[in-house]
Structure 1
Amino acid sequence: MLAGLAENPALPADLVDRLVAAPHRPFELACRPDLSGPQLDALIARDAHGVALSRHLPPQVRHRLAAHPDPSVRVALVISATPDERDLFERFTADPAPEVREQLAQCDHTPADLRARLAHDPAPGVRAALGQYWTAAPEPVRRVLLTDPEDGVRAAACATYFRRLPHPVPPADLVPALLADPLTRAGAAPHCDPDTTDLAGLAADPDPEVRRALATHPGLPAAIRDRLAADPRALVRLAVLARPDTPAAARAALHDSVTGPWEPPGEDVDEETAIEIEIDRFGAGAELRMLRLPWVTADPLPHLDSPHPVFRRAAAASTDLPAEARARLLADPDNEVALAAARSSSDPIDPVTAERLDRGHRPFKRMRWRPADAFPLPVQTLRRLAADPAPRMRLLALRDPDLPAALLERLAADPEERVRRAAASHPAHTPAAFRALLDDPSPSVHRAAAANPALPVEEMRARLDAAGL
């Protein structure tokens, strides 16, 4: 509960003082935007790192923390820095702690000329971070990183995965050397010259990441493409499936091979490789759900009736669909296809469709976003959902700021913790309802109630009194 009070923007200054003096004061207190100088001094003495993470510090406090002896405090300052703090960034490029300079390499706010200096940093970890995070670095910087004497730096600068988009393209004259290096071969394979590269050798490379990367090359001869289509690794086959030049029959077979029943490899495959193949197969299923097919989106009509939802979803993402085609895709039995059609539409989505999209939303990765964020439901629908059997749909009712008291009271006592937690943030509770929520057995519920700006000040004071603060 104290953590909730600490982040409550309506907490009076005298109660902030009481929390600052608490022996186990909440971390959230350090990030308040209304802290006074004495309050900051007291917090810095006990948790300089937490204070340094705040984005609301006066400049003089940030400069003071820049000289703090604990490197983690200086790292936190980089994390919370704003683009206009050039003097801070410049100071940290020469910081004695490599972890501070590594954070600087990762930070998109670091001025380009200062960031470029880090390509010559003595710590390989700093240079590797630069290669992974600064994908838009000028070519001279990328060249330095791609030819770095340290293996880890070259591997980070020429990879199949980067921490930022778009992924960089290596200079053409460096590609042959990058292909010759096992650590950078996979990152360079999509950019090789088909006329001067041993494509058959790359297609037979023992590293499946190399074969997978090669399968994305737009200029592959059909024979190499078909060879990769028979690769034992599912992620390689998935890359072939996603190619625009893969024949329809081959694509169907590839889709079945990725989504169909699992067939263990033969006895001639050693146990370690068999495990890797099985993990790869699971990964391919996940990748299939997130696959992007820009060439389908650019020419959607031939794919409206594709038997593969991923292709219909890519078609539905087009903003140029005829009305009839969009209507078909909005009614698609695959919710992700219908959602893509809704998100690419310039027309309003009717409430019935919006509710269906939200009810059927099951993201592969955990996320806070849900379709109702993009397609708000009308008040009458929200109030009806207060009695919905599905807890995640009852949550939507709390988006009505004028929710009738009886419905709000019911949701505040909901058997599902997540519903009560959301209800605790509603602005329309009575003092008695707030007290009940503050006494809820779930820490997340009473924290949300304590953080609610509508919580009466008398109740805030009473809770601190009860805690002996």
Structure 2
Amino acid sequence: MNHVLCGLAVNTALPSELVGRLIAVADPDIAEALADRADLSREQAVDLAARVPQSAVRLAYEGLLTAADIDPVTQPQAALALLDEDSGDPDWARLFARDADVERRAKLAACPGLPDDVRETLAADPDVHVVAELASRTTADQAARLARHPHAEVRRAVAANEATPPEVLAMLVTGEGLPPVERCLVCDSEETPYTHDRQCPRLDCDLRAGASCDGSHESTVHETAEEALRNPATPVESLLRFAEHPSMLLRSELAARPDLPPKVAARLAGDPASGVRADLAENPAISEAVLRVLAADRGHDVQRRTAHNPRVPLDVLSRLAATVRIGPTLLPRIAAATPAEVAQLSTSSDPTVRMLLAARRDLPAEIRDALAADPDAKVVKSIARHPGLSETQLRAMVERHGVRVAAGVAANPDAPAALLEDLTRLVPPVWKVLREVARHPHAAGPALLACLADGRARPVAAGHPALPLQVIVGLLADDDWRVVEAAAANPSLPSAVMADLVPWTPGLGVSG
């Protein structure tokens, strides 16, 4: 791989003429990078697809190729990509619906906007994977018909389709009103009873881990229930039976439903499996009473996920903050706090509560400034990235709390170049500081040079436009390929240097 050319391929300052020259010498890696360019013209995209045929799929998905640019016979994957974007020729769909390659038919079945006759052809496909792919995305009418398909895999796919009518989803859950399932993927390939080894060593085996069939197709039936539980179109009344189901996984899926009735939520709050209670704890549909029960639950992860519930009462959250390791993350309930609640939280006697509030980035100036002067380092570390803080405030943070807050200060969007340079001079060096400075838009040459000393900051600094020109050029020969690519992608690289790096191949007629 030519890392210099791969870096140049994504350089936003690369002149159009040099883009054309890169296309003329592109290999698959360079082509992949070029396909990401926002300024790539349609003509250049056509040339790139001709130079590196496998790039046509990516270019099609990027909207740089049209149906007029693609031959479905010689470029089937690109044609399928356009169909997947609902911008291909409908006649292509009819061609692929009878393709000998089952993977192409399955890819087609996943495409939107297929003509009715194509969907009917795919619904009768001899390969169940193709029918299942169609069933997971097709229209309500066809999904209702496929719910009666004799193969369990197709019904599983119908259960995942949000277009499936609610009454049909209820039938898939209960089994009432549908003919019995006749086959599943397990009994298609193995003599039953059979349970697939989760550590199956067979390279040609495509059964899912733990798949089993004793004649009742039990693992696929279980998966159908899972899909129906996850499907928001499934009537919740048909799912309440799973509150007492022996499968913890199915009870957990029910516990996460946003339309869970209060009585069922209260019952699941006493579920013997902590995983079920933890899934319930994060459900925004549960009542305050259930949240208070779960806040006292010492089961694995229950209290932490209660703290992440957007409706948890603030007094409950404040108690949880004292006992649960949450970290300086913006909790949904904190993000939704009213101005009065923000003021209340800012004066909490618990520094952890103040830390959680400080994770907001839209605090009133007076509250932001009070938290910036907080005596507790974890509060200051959390507020350090808040926009609007002055250089004086940021320097005061570092003077009071040192390396504990230095990385947060370095990441502040308003940190000036002089402060960033001073932070890179801390002794001993703070590697997290260097990594933040390396990506900071205000960082200047001296600070960026210091960042080159850290292996993780070095590739980031190499792409910073404020890095001195001679240093950027020197990094093109660095031992670390990431640094080389970043330096080549640096928009401050002069066009004359770029031109010297791109090979010239005359006579190819590549568009500029």
The TM-score with structure 1 as length reference comes to 0.66
- Residue 186 of structure 1 corresponds to which residue in structure 2? 226
Match of 1:10, SS?
coil
Q: Does 1:417 align with 2:455?
A: yes
Segment of structure 1 superposing worse, 419-428 or 457-466? 457-466
**Do the aligned partners of 1:316 and 1:329 also contact (CA within 8 Å) in 2?**
no
- Residue 219 of structure 1 corresponds to which residue in structure 2? 261
Task: With a CA cutoff of 8 Å and minimum separation of 6, indicate the structure with the bigger relative contact order.
Answer: 2
| Larger Cα-atom Rg | 2
- Residue 270 of structure 2 corresponds to which residue in structure 1? 229
Aligned letter for 1:219? P
**Do the aligned partners of 1:342 and 1:349 also contact (CA within 8 Å) in 2?**
no
Q: Does 1:376 align with 2:413?
A: yes
- Residue 265 of structure 1 corresponds to which residue in structure 2? none
Deviation at 1:329, TM superposition (A): 8.0
**Do the aligned partners of 2:7 and 2:486 also contact (CA within 8 Å) in 1?**
yes
Match of 1:406, SS?
helix
Distance 2:46 2:481 in 1: 29
Q: Does 1:152 align with 2:153?
A: yes
Deviation at 1:318, TM superposition (A): 1.3
Unaligned runs of 5+ in 2: 176-220, 373-378, 387-406, 505-512
Distance 1:333 1:184 in 2: 43
Aligned letter for 2:343? E
Given candidates 319, 327, 338, the residue that maps to 2:346 is 327
Distance 1:183 1:105 in 2: 21
**Do the aligned partners of 1:408 and 1:423 also contact (CA within 8 Å) in 2?**
yes
Distance 2:308 2:456 in 1: 33
- Residue 331 of structure 2 corresponds to which residue in structure 1? 313
Aligned letter for 1:235? G
Distance 2:465 2:349 in 1: 35
Given candidates 342, 354, 365, the residue that maps to 2:360 is 342
Match of 1:48, SS?
coil
Distance 2:272 2:458 in 1: 51
- Residue 366 of structure 1 corresponds to which residue in structure 2? none
Spell out the pairing of 1:2-401 with structure 2 (5 A cutoff): 2-12=5-15, 15-22=18-25, 24=27, 26-27=30-31, 28-32=33-37, 33-34=39-40, 37=43, 43-54=48-59, 55=62, 57=64, 59=66, 62-78=67-83, 81=85, 85=87, 87-88=88-89, 91-92=92-93, 95=96, 96=99, 99-100=103-104, 102-103=106-107, 110-111=112-113, 117=119, 120=123, 122=125, 124-126=128-130, 128-129=132-133, 139-140=140-141, 142-144=143-145, 146-159=147-160, 171-172=166-167, 174-180=169-175, 181-188=221-228, 199=241, 202-216=242-256, 218-219=260-261, 221=263, 225-226=266-267, 229-232=270-273, 234-242=274-282, 243-244=286-287, 247=290, 250-252=293-295, 254=297, 256-259=298-301, 293-296=309-312, 300-307=313-320, 313-322=331-340, 323-327=342-346, 333=352, 337-338=356-357, 342=360, 350=368, 356-357=381-382, 376-379=413-416, 382-387=420-425, 389-401=429-441
Q: 1:292 to 1:405 in 2, by over 3 A?
A: closer
Aligned letter for 1:333? T
Match of 2:13, SS?
coil
Distance 1:129 1:338 in 2: 46
- Residue 465 of structure 2 corresponds to which residue in structure 1? 427
Deviation at 1:455, TM superposition (A): 0.6
Deviation at 1:185, TM superposition (A): 2.5
The percentage of counterpart residues that share the same residue type is 23
Aligned letter for 2:335? A
Deviation at 1:440, TM superposition (A): 1.8
Unaligned runs of 5+ in 1: 260-283, 362-369
